[in-house]
Amino acid sequence: MELEQNFNLINRMDKRMNIYIGSKVINFLKFVCVYICFINIAFSQAEINMDSVQVNEAFPIAVVNMQAIVGESLAASQVKKFIEAKKIEFSTELKKEEEVLKNMQEELGSQRSILPPDEFAELEGNFRKRVENLQKMVTEKNQLLEDILSRSVQKIQTEAVKIITSIGKEKNLALTLDTSTVVIAANSINISRSVIDLLNINLPTLDMDAIMSGK
């Protein structure tokens, strides 16, 4: 009965990991609005005309949609694909370990009435330790995905802020607001498109190996 409870725990961990990883990716997609359906940039010919950004000179304020800026960036698309690949990789590792534990459980069931109590207790202890290691692996993988998301978004946002600051100086903007804090704003003062275009030039990709290592 105890062995069955341990293995039921493994199955729940498998489902939880898949749900966790999947929900993280979905939340990331919601946060950054990934799907670069409207990006039309040719890298070799990309040239941003800053004069196209219209700002009321009498009231130098602009707005940006930071969520759209991050979400429509090429870097965000790269992060999405990377996380999906990691999800598959982690799920494969988990299934392999599950198979090992299934075999261990079957062996324990067949040896219960054969082995001396002390030898059986040793095998059972090894099984429990393996289950604990699996729990630890799931926790570590989930944390790694969370860290990748956080670091990636932070790097994209940091570059976006630099670009927004640069546009602000060039256009002598007194204030730039995120659209999430504004009830109504004219399209003419929304500089998000220009920020996205420059972001895709300045930061088309991220160093995912460095991000995974925490750099």
List the beta bridge partners of residue 178. 64
pLDDT of residue 34: 35
> Average of pLDDT values for 101-111?
88
Locate the domains of the chain by residue range.
2-40+49-212
Gap between the Cα atoms of 142 and 128, Å rounded? 21
Mean pLDDT of the chain: 81
Residue 140 has a pLDDT of: 93
Is 151's pLDDT higher than 50? yes
Residue 25 has pLDDT above 80, yes or no: no
**29 or 191, which is more confident:** 191
Q: What's residue 58's pLDDT?
A: 66
CA 145, distance to chain mean position in Å, is 6
The confidence band for 18, taking pLDDT boundaries of 50, 70 and 90, is low
Question: What is the rounded average pLDDT of the residues 57-64?
Answer: 84
- Pick the more confident residue, 19 or 154: 154
Which pTM does this prediction carry? Answer: 0.68
Specify whether the CB–CB gap between 195 and 176 falls below 8 A. no
Asked whether residue 37 carries a pLDDT value surpassing 80, the answer given is no
CA 104 to each of CA 41, 111, 112, 192: distance values in angstroms, whole numbers, following the listed order: 55, 10, 12, 57
